[in-house]
Amino acid sequence: MVNIIGSVIFCLALVATHFCGAAVEMRVRTTDNQEADKVALGQPLIVELSVTDASGLMPQISIEGLDQAGGRCVGKHITTINNNTELKYVYHVSYDKPGTYQIGPATVANGANVMRSKTVMIEVLDQTKPVVKVDKAHKKKSKDPLDTIFLHLSADKSEVVVGEKITCTLTLLSLHDRVTLKQIGQEGTNNLKMHNSTGPVNTKKEVRGKLYNSHQWQWELYPEAAGEFLIPVYFADVAVSDERHGMVMLLLGAHERKKRIYSNSLKITVESLPDNVPPGTPVGIFKEFRAQLSPRTIKQGMAATLTLELTGDGNFGTIAINALDGIPPALRCYSSSQQTNDTAQKTGNTRKKFEFIVQALQAGACQIPAQRFSYFDIQDRVLKTIETEPLNLLVLPGDPVPTHQTPDDNDQPDTAQETSEINNDVLLLKRLHENQSWRSDVALPWSLFFILLALSCVWPLYLLGAHVCAITLVERRYRGALKLALRKLRRAYEQNNGAALHRLMIQFIAYRVRCEPFMVTESMVEQRLHAQGADRKKIEEWHSFWNKISAFSFGERVAFCADEGLFFEATEWLKQLETII
C-alpha cells in the first residue's frame, strides 16, 4: 500500500514538475511581422501564444480582450525537440472603432496550476490606412517580386444616405509577370450586401513612373440602415514562380513562394432619410422615365409589349417595378423581364428596362395612363417624382378571350389560313430533301478510304507507345527519387530555405508511391509505418516532423529559415521512407 501511494505521489510530482517548468509567452504583431502598438481601423493583427516545456499538457487557454476584437483561432502547432514540447496558438484580431485596447493576460490552466502571460496595449487610430513600419534601406535593396505587390480598396463615396449607391473598387498591383493570384477574400464580415459585382479586369497601369499589372474588381453597396460602417480589409494569396526551373515543374505547383497581402479598410458614414420619405424609396439622380408600346394596334385576344425605361444614377440593384398603375379592365398585364444596361463609363448614366405583356380582352380604344416613379434626389435632398407619357392602344375585334383557358395538346388548326401555312412548310421540306447535295449512293473516294485505314492502324500504336513512355518515366522517378530529394535537400540547406523541405518531401513520397503530388497526405505515410510494424513513438516522431515542415510552407512566417537540426532530421526520414515505401 505504501508503495502504491508513493508511486502516485511521484507521478503527480513529475507532472507538476513539467508544468512548473513550462512558460507562457504572448506576442501581438502585424502581418508584416512587426511588433504592434499602433494600428488602423480594421487592420488585422496576429496574436501568437506560445507554451514552452509543456510535455504531457493539454491545457485550457483563455485570452482576455479577444472577444471585443473579434478574435478567432486560425492555427495550432505542436513542436517536439529533444523531448521538449512547445504549444503554439495563432489568433487573428481586428478593431473597428478607435481607442486603446488591452489584450491579455493569457491564462493557461491545467487543473490547479495556472500560468499567466503579460498584457499588451494596442492603440487603434481613427484612420483606415494601415500603420506600417517600413525599413527603407531594406526596401531599396530588395528585388523580391513579393515586395512589389500591393492591394488597395477604394470607394467613390464615404458619406451617403440610406439606400444610396456606393461603388467599391479593389485593385491588385504587381510589378512582375511571374506573380499569380491563388485566392482573394475578406477578413471579417459586415452588414453591407454586395450587388452587381464585376471583375477581374486585367490591364496595365502606370504608378509613379512604373508600369504595373493591374487586376481590378468592382461592386456596389446599398446601405440599409443609418450609422457608421467599416468595410473590413481584403486579403490576396499570391505566389511567385521560380524562373530558374522548367515549365513542367511549375505546372506541378513546385518552386513557388507564397505570401498573403492585405488591403486597407474603409469607413462609411450613412445618414438617415428625411421623415417624409417612405422606407424603401429609391435613392439617386434619375433623369428620364419613359414608356414604349409595340405594336400600337392589335386584335382582341392578342398581346403587345410595354417597356418602361429608367435612366440615371442610383441603386438600380434594388429597384423593381412589378406592376403597372391604373390599367383599364379591358387590358390584362403581366410582368415579363427586367434588364440593366450599364453605360456609366460612356455617358455617366445607367439604364434599366422593365418589360410587361399587355393582353387585350375587349375591342375598342384603350389608354395606358402615365406611370410614376418617386425617388429621393441625393443632390437636391428632396423627394421627386417623374412620370411617363400616357399611351394609346387600339384593339380591333377578334376572337373573344375566355376568362380561364385550358390548353389542349391535341388542338388542330381551325382556320384555312393556318392549314395552308402548314402545307407550304411540308412542301418546302420535301424539296429540300430532294435537292440535298449529299446522297447515300455517292461512292467514297479511295484516297479517303486508305487514309482512314492508316489512321485506324497507327492510332493503337501511338496509344501503346505513350503508355510505355509513361510507365518508363514513372519507374525512373521511383528509382531516382532518393537521389533527387537529397540533391534538393543539399541545395535547401545551403540556402537555409526551410520552406523547400515540405515541397521536396511531397515530391519524394509521390514518386515512391507512384501518385500525383496533390494526393500525398500525412496519414498516407502513417499507414505505411503501421504496416511495417512501427511503434507509437516512431509515428509521433513522424507527425512532429511533418508539422514542423508544414509550418514553414503554410504558417504565418516572413522568414523561411530553419535550424540545422531540421535538415539532418529530413535526411534521416528520406532514407527511412525509401525502405518503407
Cβ neighbours for 243, distance < 8 A, ≥ 6 positions apart: 178
Closest residue by Cα to residue 294 from 364, 368, 351, 387:
368
Q: Over 90: is that where the pLDDT of 3 sits?
A: no
Burial zone of 160 (CB within 10 Å; 0-12 exposed, 13-18 middle, 19+ buried): buried
Counting residues of the chain whose pLDDT is more than 90, the rounded percentage is 11
* 283-396 CATH, one of 2.40.37.10, 3.40.50.880, 2.60.120.260, 2.60.40.740: 2.60.40.740
Residues constituting the chain: 581
As to burial, measured by CB atoms within 10 angstroms (0-12 exposed, 13-18 middle, 19+ buried), residue 135 is exposed
Residue with cell 402545307: 423
Highest mean pLDDT among 115-129, 187-201, 244-258: 115-129
Over the chain, what is the mean pLDDT?
Answer: 77
So what's the pLDDT on residue 531? 76
pLDDT of 375: 92
**Best CATH choice for the domain 136-271 from the list 2.60.120, 3.30.70, 1.10.357, 2.60.40:** 2.60.40
Domain ranges for the chain, please list them: 18-124, 136-271, 283-396, 478-580
Choice among 102-106, 181-185, 317-321, 553-557 with the minimum mean pLDDT: 553-557
Cα 536 to Cα 525: distance, rounded to the nearest angstrom: 14
Q: What topology is assigned to 18-124 in CATH?
A: Immunoglobulin-like (2.60.40)
Reported as a pLDDT band with limits 50, 70 and 90, residue 377 is very high
Q: With bands split at pLDDT 50, 70 and 90, how would you rate the model's confidence at 223?
A: confident
Closest Cα to residue 107, out of 50, 61, 53, 49?
61
Q: Which range is most confident: 400-409, 465-474, 488-497?
A: 488-497
Fold matches, 18-124 and 283-396:
yes
**Predicted structure pTM score:** 0.57
Other beta carbons less than 10 A from residue 443's beta carbon: 6
Q: Which residues of 185-214 are buried (b: 16+ CB within 10 A; e: fewer)?
A: eebbebebeeeeeeeeeeeeeeeeeeebbb
471 has a pLDDT exceeding 80: no
Instruction: Please write the tens of the pLDDT for every residue from 274-312.
Output: 888 888 889 999 989 999 998 888 888 888 999 999 999
Q: How far apart are CA 578 and CA 581, in angstroms?
A: 6
DSSP code at position 504: H
| Confidence band, pLDDT 50/70/90 cuts, at residue 527 | confident
Q: Which helix (H) or strand (E) holds 531?
A: helix 522-531
